[in-house]
């Protein structure tokens, strides 16, 4: 873990050092876990997994007829009245 004070005093070097053998690190503020920093490769990987999950969910919805051919306004109304 990196403390906010370490980050304040050491700057980016603190992050670079901490992430040499990890893909992500937690930053604490006053002893409380507050932020996560990660290597850009890890961020891109997580975004890709997020998009893959959304695509899978959309395919499942299509396969089970959980979609609407109505206009967007009608669809939004339907979603919020369920």
pLDDT the model gives residue 79: 85
> Read out DSSP for 15-65?
HHHHTSS-SEEEEEETTEEEEEEE-HHHHHHHHHHHHHHHHHHHHHHHHTT
pLDDT digits (tens, 9 = 90+) for 2-31: 999 999 999 999 999 999 999 999 999 999
Q: Tens digit of pLDDT for each residue in 32-77?
A: 999 999 999 999 999 999 999 999 999 999 999 988 788 889 888 8
């Amino acid at each position: 873990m990196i403390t906010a004070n370490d980050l304040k005093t050491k700057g980016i070097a603190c992050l670079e050092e901490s992430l040499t053998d990890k893909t992500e690190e937690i930053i604490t503020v006053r002893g409380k876990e507050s932020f996560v920093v990660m290597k850009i490769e890890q961020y891109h990987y997580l975004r890709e997994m997020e998009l893959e999950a959304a695509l899978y969910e959309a395919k499942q919805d299509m396969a089970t007829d959980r979609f609407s051919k109505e206009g967007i306004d009608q669809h939004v109304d339907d979603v919020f009245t369920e």
